[in-house]
Structure 1
Amino acid sequence: MTQNNQPEPLNKLVHDARAPLNRISMNAELIKLVLENDMPKEKALEALNKIISNCQQCSESLQKIVDSQ
């Protein structure tokens, strides 16, 4: 809900959920490159932490969609 207690438009809520999914995909691709090119494992660990964070953000966004119904 917005500050004036009106539900957010569904397309904005879906956009907010889709954004972390795009970041998850991007970081998964980075991990794939790290593994394929024998790059430092720290890069992969950073990307994994970003994936975990974005999964949590996506879950929160999806909960907002449920709550807005």
Structure 2
Amino acid sequence: MSGCAEGGFDLGAHVVCPPVVEYSREVQARAAEELLLLPEGSVVVEMLADYAMMREQVRACKMSSR
């Protein structure tokens, strides 16, 4: 039921944030190069934007749980 809810879960004093995978600069550079090769209008670009937003939300979760 909470799949569409915004905000965190109330687990008392303990906040659980999912992990964020860290990528090396080399991997990020390769991904950027490969992204440029995708055809115009590629749905993968939209999906990557969603993924970037989720990563920022997880980072914010980790900052607020400190």
TM-score by length of 1: 0.50
State yes or no: 1:57 paired with 2:54: yes
Q: Which runs of 4+ in 1 moved over 6 A?
A: none
The 3 A distance-change label for structure 1 pair 5 and 48 is: same
Q: Which runs of 5+ in 1 are unaligned?
A: none
Distance in structure 2 (CA, Å) of the matches to 1:4 and 1:32: 40
Code of the residue aligned with 1:32 in structure 2: it is E
State yes or no: 1:18 paired with 2:15: no
State yes or no: 1:5 paired with 2:12: yes
Alignment map for 1:39-54 (pairs within 5 Å)? 41=39, 45-54=42-51
Alignment length, in residue pairs? 52
RMSD, aligned α-carbons: 3.3
Q: What displacement does 1:68 show?
A: 0.2
